[in-house]
């Protein structure tokens, strides 16, 4: 890896990935990646399909625990604590690191219950109505659903469902929100709304977003990491990556010459 | 500054460091214990089914042990006269096996062609709507209690058979065969239809692209590729027919004999077991034990068939 | 070419006719039973005990017996069935032992019902000393329907999308919290359908009940789980096995009542399935 191509952000890092490799059986999907994710910023991870973006993202909240064939090497530090240690309870960890998935996946319950299920089951002491309103407002969906909080979440449109999923994640007050191509199943209008929302949210949360869409990365992120074939190729200020990338490979990808 | 115990026991130190880290602390102990207990009970439940099988095997073996002490296995398996409750007693099980297989063969003659044709029709010819309507309706046939089929055989099919073929006895293997055929038919239809549905579309399209007719594609490509699972469905139907009890008890009668004439009364293994439990054969006598010996034989036969079917299904999956 | 084409048409017609022939058989069976038994179905038939005289015979004892039997069977079999399915789908490690348990469950599902009668007779009637009571009958039947409930519940749980589980885990819940809070509620309609079908199978079951020695003449309704009992299929069998034509018709009347109850249950299962399918589509 070219040292020059990785500029460390000046801000304080919340998550620090050190020498992380992820194997599926013998296949190395993420190769010795080092990445530090700054607090209260949006970090975008871009790269062609199958380059290990999502795999990296899912390592951060230990979603790979459910796949017996996955094996992780290296460390990921959350505020200085290695979260890949066996002794770290993945369940408690995920309360601090929320995740929004590719396809909206609301629970088949009411909108109200969707927000409250996580905090309730984790025994948080909360004012229910207040938390629901606050989370929905933060996710910029309150005005659309305030009249029908007790309707099934399934009845919402795709874009609304995704914002509900974001609201559900916010309700847990996580430190970091991981987003795995959150707009890939949505139309451009809904995508625009979610992008605005992400820009709002970064005042309070640290966001890591995997995206296919380079314009999206350019629009919303502060830092961009470019992955190729499991390796982190270049990482730095978004404006720098998109205007004056250090490496030819990055430039080729960004200008659409491959991938 | 490193303390002495750290140096001496790096393992312990490491363990303490890991387990006292703040991340590990956040899951309350009582939740962990509660979940351990719940999972223990769930796991225990899943062993109930193993326990049932073990008990069935144990009971059948231990209760028929007394019988096999008095009657040599060879006499039981190859004897051609079954008269355990009347003197002179004789314990050759072949007449019961004969009765069972006569009824099963008759049932298969009906269920196999009709079941397969219906499955092919549902899977390859019928529109999706027709299929979605017909399949559950056909499955009703297997949901009707077997005692109802016995009644149907006795009061409807036998009288018709008697008009057509006057030598037909009141109790006969033929009418039992017919109703057992009807009730096992949905097993073949439903499972074979599922099997045919799993054949990939690309295979059909490939065959059509060569100019094959639907009939040729259905029978030469689709049916052949689904053959293991279709075979499994037939084996399961045979197993069900062999274990079928109430319909054959009501319709086929209680006359154990070595005959190939389906218009005569016969007795199946299952019908004999019912006969013993309805009569007042005292517990512990050899007459009582015969019922367990026959039950053991029945269990072994159906178990073997079920295993064969499982193998066929399993093989296809991988 | 023409002969191939004709073969195709001929085959299609044959298959079509055969399929509708099966429906015809079903219709014939229902028609025959209706014609034979309808004249005996009346309120008296439902509220009388069995009698030496066909016209005075009724199914009061059998109805109550069947009701109690199914209730107890459900109480025994449902919790164990669902627990097993949940364990196998959500918690069990994938190893040889679990493959064996799976194989065992599938085999039990194919074991003839009369074999369960031996188990009931030796274990519950004699071994545990429950005699010919409802408890013995229900325990025997619950072992019989357990594999069916497990298989149906597993299918339903398998149908719960992975994304739903991921969504729950991402909120930091444990596997059990995810199972009880999301997976089971989502799979519930499917599980319910399976339970209803399994219990309706138990309702029509005759052979194992005969084997544990359920009386065929019972002129009282059971008061508690330790009472002796008769059931509707037993009563039907009893009447059908008599030589008199009139009792055959009484038997048909019993069948009408039994089938009506079974069809109602099946219809309920169908409604549940249809309602969920609609919900998922939305």
Give B234 or B4, the one with higher predicted confidence: B234
Chain C closest-CA separation from residue B6 CA (Å): 34
Asked if A93's CB is within 8 angstroms of B21's CB, the reply is no
Radius of gyration, CA atoms only, chain C:
23
Asked if C167's CB is within 8 angstroms of A105's CB, the reply is yes
Chain C closest-CA separation from residue A96 CA (Å): 8
Q: Which residue's structure tokens are 């992780």?
A: A72
- Asked whether residue B202 carries a pLDDT value surpassing 50, the answer given is yes
- What DSSP element (H or E) covers A97? strand A97-100
Question: What would the 3-class secondary structure string for A100-161 be?
Answer: ECCCCCCCCCEHHHHHHHHHHHCCCCCCHHHHHHHHHHHCCCHHHHHHHCCCEHHHCCHHHH
pTM over 0.95: no
Question: What is the CATH number that goes with domain B82-317?
Answer: 1.10.3720.10
Tell me which of B246, B248, B300 to substitute to probe the interface with C (most C C-beta atoms closer than 10 Å). B246
- Residue A3's pLDDT band, with cuts at 50, 70 and 90, is low
pLDDT at B25: 47
| Domains in chain A: ranges and CATH | 3-84+94-253 (3.40.50.300)
Kindly state the tokens that stand for A83: 């979260």
Dihedral of the alpha carbons of B67, B73, B77, B80, in degrees to the nearest 10: -80
d(CA B102, CA B107): 9
Strand order in the sheet with A223-228: A97-100, A176-180, A206-210, A42-46, A223-228, A231-237
Asked if B310's CB is within 8 angstroms of C106's CB, the reply is yes
**Which residues of chain B make contact with C84, given a CB cutoff of 8 A?**
42, 45-46, 48-49
- Asked whether residue B20 carries a pLDDT value surpassing 60, the answer given is no
Q: Which residues contact A192 (CB under 8 A, 6 or more apart)?
A: none
A44, A101, A208, B236 from A182: Cα distances, Å: 12, 6, 11, 48
Is the torsion defined by CA of C202, B143, C31, C240 positive or negative? negative
Asked if C14's CB is within 8 angstroms of B117's CB, the reply is yes
Residue C47 burial (C-beta neighbours within 10 Å; 0-12, 13-18, 19+): exposed
pLDDT tens digits, residue range A39-62?
A: 999 999 999 888 899 999 999 988
B283 CB within 8 Å of a chain A CB: no
**Which residues of chain B make contact with A87, given a CB cutoff of 8 A?**
18-19, 21, 24
Which chain B residue's Cα is nearest to C143?
Answer: B52
**Which residues of chain C make contact with A61, given a CB cutoff of 8 A?**
170
Q: Which residues contact C267 (CB under 8 A, 6 or more apart)?
A: none
- Asked whether residue B313 carries a pLDDT value surpassing 90, the answer given is no
Chain A closest-CA separation from residue B48 CA (Å): 27
- Residue B24's pLDDT band, with cuts at 50, 70 and 90, is very low
Inter-chain CB pairs, A–C, below 8 Å: 70
d(CA C120, CA C123): 5
- Residue B10's pLDDT band, with cuts at 50, 70 and 90, is low
The full set of domain ranges for chain B reads: 16-73, 82-317
- Asked whether residue B236 carries a pLDDT value surpassing 90, the answer given is yes
Asked if A86's CB is within 8 angstroms of B23's CB, the reply is no
B62, B63, B292, C21, C120 from C127: Cα distances, Å: 14, 13, 16, 48, 9
Torsions phi, psi for B187 (to 5 deg): -65, -50
Q: Which residues contact C55 (CB under 8 A, 6 or more apart)?
A: C40, C246
Between A144-148, B129-133, B290-294, the lowest mean confidence (pLDDT) is in B129-133
Q: Which residue's structure tokens are 């319950």?
A: A109
- Asked whether residue B110 carries a pLDDT value surpassing 60, the answer given is yes
d(CA B235, CA B248): 19
**Which residues of chain C make contact with A68, given a CB cutoff of 8 A?**
94
- Of B138, B243, B306, which is closest to C114 when you measure between CB atoms? B243
Inter-chain CB pairs, A–B, below 8 Å: 27
Asked if B21's CB is within 8 angstroms of A88's CB, the reply is yes
The full set of domain ranges for chain C reads: 2-40, 43-281
Tell me which of B13, B22, B26, B34 to substitute to probe the interface with A (most A C-beta atoms closer than 10 Å). B26
**Which residues of chain B make contact with A89, given a CB cutoff of 8 A?**
23-24, 26-27
pLDDT tens digits, residue range A78-108?
A: 988 899 988 888 888 888 899 999 888 888 8
Q: Which residues are A43's β-sheet partners?
A: A208, A223
Q: CA A146, A149, A153: angle at the middle one, nearest 5?
A: 120
pLDDT tens digits, residue range C14-61?
A: 888 988 888 999 999 999 999 988 887 887 777 777 777 777 777 888
Asked if B19's CB is within 8 angstroms of A92's CB, the reply is no
B128 CB within 8 Å of a chain A CB: no
pLDDT at B88: 78
Question: What is the CATH number that goes with domain C43-281?
Answer: 1.10.3720.10
CB contact residues (below 8 A), chain A span 79-138, against chain B: 81, 83, 85-89, 91-93, 95
Asked if B27's CB is within 8 angstroms of A88's CB, the reply is no
Chain A closest-CA separation from residue B27 CA (Å): 6
Neighbours of chain C (3+ CB pairs under 8 A): A, B
pLDDT tens digits, residue range C73-96?
A: 999 999 999 999 999 999 988 888
Mean pLDDT value across residues B73-97: 85
Neighbours of chain B (3+ CB pairs under 8 A): A, C
Determine what percent of chain A is predicted with pLDDT higher than 90.
52
């Amino acid at each position: 890896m070219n040292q020059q191509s990785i500029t460390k952000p000046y801000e304080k890092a919340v998550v620090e990935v050190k020498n992380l490799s992820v194997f599926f059986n013998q296949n190395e999907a993420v190769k010795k990646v080092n990445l530090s994710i700054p607090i209260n910023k949006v970090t975008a991870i871009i790269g062609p399909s199958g380059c290990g973006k999502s795999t990296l993202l899912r390592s951060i909240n230990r979603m790979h625990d459910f796949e017996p064939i996955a094996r992780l090497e290296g460390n990921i530090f959350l505020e200085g604590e290695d979260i890949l240690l066996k002794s770290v309870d993945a369940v408690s960890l995920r309360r601090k690191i929320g995740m929004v998935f590719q396809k909206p996946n609301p629970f088949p319950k009411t909108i109200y219950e969707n927000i409250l299920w996580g905090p309730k089951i984790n025994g948080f002491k909360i004012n229910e109505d207040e938390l629901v309103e606050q989370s929905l407002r933060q996710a910029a969906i309150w005005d659309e659903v305030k009249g029908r909080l007790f309707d099934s979440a399934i009845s919402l449109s795709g874009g609304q469902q995704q914002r509900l999923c974001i609201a559900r994640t916010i309700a847990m007050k996580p430190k970091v929100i991981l987003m795995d191509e959150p707009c890939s199943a949505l139309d451009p209008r809904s995508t625009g709304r979610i992008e605005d929302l992400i820009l709002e949210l970064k005042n309070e949360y640290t966001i890591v977003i995997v995206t296919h869409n380079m314009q999206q990365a350019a629009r919303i992120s502060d830092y961009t990491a470019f992955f190729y074939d499991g390796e982190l190729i270049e990482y730095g200020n978004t404006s720098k990556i998109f205007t004056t990338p250090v490496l030819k490979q990055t430039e080729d990808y960004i200008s659409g010459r491959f991938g | 500054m490193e303390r002495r115990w750290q140096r001496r026991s790096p393992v312990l130190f490491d363990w303490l460091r890991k387990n006292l880290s703040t991340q590990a602390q956040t899951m309350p102990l009582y939740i962990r214990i509660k979940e351990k207990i719940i999972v223990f009970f769930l796991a225990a439940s899943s062993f109930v089914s193993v326990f049932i099988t073990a008990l069935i095997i144990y009971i059948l073996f231990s209760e028929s042990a007394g019988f096999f002490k008095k009657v040599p296995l060879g006499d039981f398996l190859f004897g051609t006269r079954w008269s355990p409750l009347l003197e002179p007693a004789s314990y050759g099980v072949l007449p019961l096996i004969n009765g069972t297989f006569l009824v099963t063969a008759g049932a298969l003659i009906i269920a196999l062609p009709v079941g397969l044709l219906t499955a092919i029709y549902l899977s390859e010819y019928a529109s999706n709507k027709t299929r979605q309507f017909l399949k559950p309706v056909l499955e009703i046939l297997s949901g009707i209690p077997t005692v109802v089929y016995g009644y149907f055989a006795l009061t409807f099919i036998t009288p018709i058979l008697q008009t057509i073929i006057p030598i037909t006895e009141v109790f006969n293997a033929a009418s039992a065969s017919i109703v057992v055929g009807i009730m096992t038919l949905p097993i073949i239809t439903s499972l074979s239809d599922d099997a045919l549905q799993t054949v990939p579309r690309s295979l059909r399209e490939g065959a059509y692209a060569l100019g094959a007719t639907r009939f040729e594609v259905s029978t030469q490509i689709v049916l052949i590729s689904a053959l293991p699972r279709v075979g499994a469905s037939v084996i399961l139907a045979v197993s069900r027919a062999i274990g079928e009890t109430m319909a054959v008890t009501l319709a086929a009668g209680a006359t154990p004999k070595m005959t190939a004439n389906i218009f005569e009364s016969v007795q199946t293994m299952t019908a004999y077991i019912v006969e013993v439990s309805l009569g007042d054969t005292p517990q512990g006598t050899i007459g009582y034990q015969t019922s367990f010996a026959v039950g053991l034989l029945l269990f072994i036969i159906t178990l073997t068939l079920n295993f064969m079917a499982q193998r066929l299904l399993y093989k296809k999956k991988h | 070419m023409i002969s191939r084409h004709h073969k195709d048409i001929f085959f299609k017609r044959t298959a079509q006719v055969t399929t509708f022939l099966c429906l015809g058989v079903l219709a014939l069976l229902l028609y025959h039973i209706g014609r034979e038994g309808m004249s005996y179905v009346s309120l008296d038939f439902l509220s009388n005990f069995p009698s030496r005289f066909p016209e005075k015979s009724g199914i009061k004892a059998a109805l109550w017996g069947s009701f109690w039997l199914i209730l107890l069977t459900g109480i025994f079999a449902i919790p164990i069935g669902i627990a097993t399915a949940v364990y196998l789908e959500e918690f069990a490690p994938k190893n040889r032992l679990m493959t064996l348990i799976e194989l065992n469950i599938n085999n039990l599902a194919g074991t003839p019902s009369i074999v369960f009668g031996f188990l009931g007779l030796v274990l519950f009637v004699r071994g545990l000393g429950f005699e010919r009571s409802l408890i013995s009958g229900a325990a025997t039947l619950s072992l019989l329907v357990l594999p069916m409930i497990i298989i149906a519940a597993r299918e339903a749980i398998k149908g719960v999308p992975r994304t739903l589980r991921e969504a729950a885990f991402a909120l930091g819940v444990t596997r059990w919290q995810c199972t009880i809070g999301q997976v089971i509620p989502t799979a519930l309609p499917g599980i319910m359908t399976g339970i209803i079908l399994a219990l309706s199978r138990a309702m029509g079951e005759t052979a194992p009940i005969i084997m544990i020695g359920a009386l065929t003449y019972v002129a009282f309704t059971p008061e508690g789980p330790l009472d002796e009992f008769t059931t509707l299929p037993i009563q039907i069998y009893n009447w059908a096995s008599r030589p008199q034509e009139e009792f055959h018709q009484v038997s048909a009347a019993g069948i009408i009542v039994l089938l009506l109850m079974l069809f109602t249950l099946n219809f309920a299962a169908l409604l549940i399935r249809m309602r969920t399918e609609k919900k998922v589509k939305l």
